[in-house]
Structures are given as C-alpha cells and as structure tokens.
Chain A
Amino acid sequence: KAGVTQTPRYLIKTRGQQVTLSCSPISGHRSVSWYQQTPGQGLQFLFEYFSETQRNKGNFPGRFSGRQFSNSRSEMNVSTLELGDSALYLCASSLWTGDSPLHFGNGTRLTVT
C-alpha cells in the first residue's frame, strides 16, 4: 500500500507570495490533517479534514487554509507569505482520528526569503 505522498518536497518562495501544498492520503483513509513543524515550536496542528469538511482547526491565522477533495486528496494554501512561515509542513492521514494511528508523509520543506 502506498504511503502518504506530499508534493512538492521542497519549495522556495518570496515574502508576500502564496503557496499551495498537496497531500495524497493512503488509499481508504478519509481523514487528512496538516501540521507545521519548526525547530522552535515543534509540531503544531493546523487543521483536519474528513469527507471534504474541516472538522478541527488549530490556532493559525486565516492566511492558512485548506481543502479536501472527494477522492480525499487535500491541499493547503498559505497566502501573503511571511518569513516565519518557513517550516516543514507535514500531512497525515488516518481512517478516523479517534484511536486510529496517523500516517505521516515526509513533508514539504518551505523556505520563505
């Protein structure tokens, strides 16, 4: 079974630009969640989608948004990029967020210059 796939693997953007990251979950997984990981803050939860609906949201500004398609694939968008948005963005999929394990992708490394 293929794992969680995130594209692109690396991305360099300029302040003020916007970026879209993509995540393809494990086949059959309907829950997709997104996380930001930085050396200073560690892993922080962004949001979670289930059956195309945002079910949970972390404490991030509205510049961070996402969506999920009918095939469970998900995208995350960050608008008006700031230097502090430089981070590793991880996507995870699961059958159900209750007691099901999260399966993470290897992330997209975003650098904002």
Chain B
Amino acid sequence: KNQVEQSPQSLIILEGKNCTLQCNYTVSPFSNLRWYKQDTGRGPVSLTIMTFSENTKSNGRYTATLDADTKQSSLHITASQLSDSASYICVVILSSNTGKLIFGQGTTLQVKP
C-alpha cells in the first residue's frame, strides 16, 4: 500500500533553534518528493521538489534530504523564526505520467519566542 508517514506529529522549539522533520514513504513507482509549508488558514506553499537522483536541496533556511534507498526524507530548518510556525507536509508523487499524489499527515511546528 502506498503510504507516506511523517514524524513527529507536532513539535515545539524555541526561536533560533534548529529542527528536523522526518518523512518515510512506501510508494512505488516513485517520481518525486515534495515538501510544503502550510500556514494556518492558507493553502500549502511549495518548499522543495526532489527527484530520485537528488540527495539534497535547499531553499533558504530549509534543507531537504532524500535517501531513495531507505525511502526516507527529512526537512531541516535552520535558525528557526516565529514565522516558521506552520504545518509541514511531505508529498510523494507517483510516476510522472499518472501524477498521483500521496500526502503525509503533516508535522505541526510551533516556534516560541
């Protein structure tokens, strides 16, 4: 069964600290993996898109890694800011010609001053 599991479910950190969110998937065939950030009351916004051959991709203070062998991805946030408080959703796309998406349940991050 195609599944995407994220951990932890929720996380509270202090402003300025780093954190890492995890995403494990059992999806086949795999096309690409995406991380989205969703602020409360808003639609998700794309952070990174990683294909099978990419190991690391950065977007400012956000760095995503992908290990296609172990089917694991992580999203590392450096020097967290209050504006990083949001839900982070991992999405795996099946083969490009189907475009079918499998969503993780998300990790809710709260950054406290």
> Which of A33, A44, A99 has the largest number of chain B CB atoms within 10 A?
A99
User: Number of B residues contacting the other chain (C-beta, 8 Å)?
Assistant: 25
B105 touches A92 (CB 8 A): no
Take A101-B46, A104-B44, A106-B41 as given contacts and tell me if A56 and B104 are in contact as well, using a CB distance cutoff of 8 Å. no
Count: A-B pairs, CB below 8 Å: 56
Which residues of B are found within 8 Å of A106, using beta-carbon distances?
41-43
> Which of A31, A90, A104 has the largest number of chain B CB atoms within 10 A?
A104
Which residues of A are found within 8 Å of B98, using beta-carbon distances?
56
A90, B34: Cα distance in complex, Å: 17
Q: Which of A42, A44, A99, A104 contacts B51 (CB 8 A)?
A: A99
Which residues of B are found within 8 Å of A4, using beta-carbon distances?
43
B34 touches A97 (CB 8 A): no
Chain B proximity of A69: nearest CB distance (Å): 20
Chief secondary structure at chain A's binding surface: strand
Q: Is B31 an interface residue (CB 8 A)?
A: yes
A90 touches B43 (CB 8 A): yes
Q: Is B100 an interface residue (CB 8 A)?
A: yes
Q: Is A45 an interface residue (CB 8 A)?
A: yes
A55, B99: Cα distance in complex, Å: 9
Chain A proximity of B50: nearest CB distance (Å): 10
Q: Is A105 an interface residue (CB 8 A)?
A: yes
Chain A 15-43 near chain B by CB (<8 Å), digits 1 or 0: 00000000000000001010000000011
Using CB atoms and an 8 Å cutoff, list the residues of chain B in contact with chain A: 31-32, 34, 36, 41-46, 49, 51, 89, 91, 93, 96-101, 103-106
Using CB atoms and an 8 Å cutoff, list the residues of chain A in contact with chain B: 4, 31, 33, 42-45, 48, 55-56, 90, 92, 97-99, 101-107
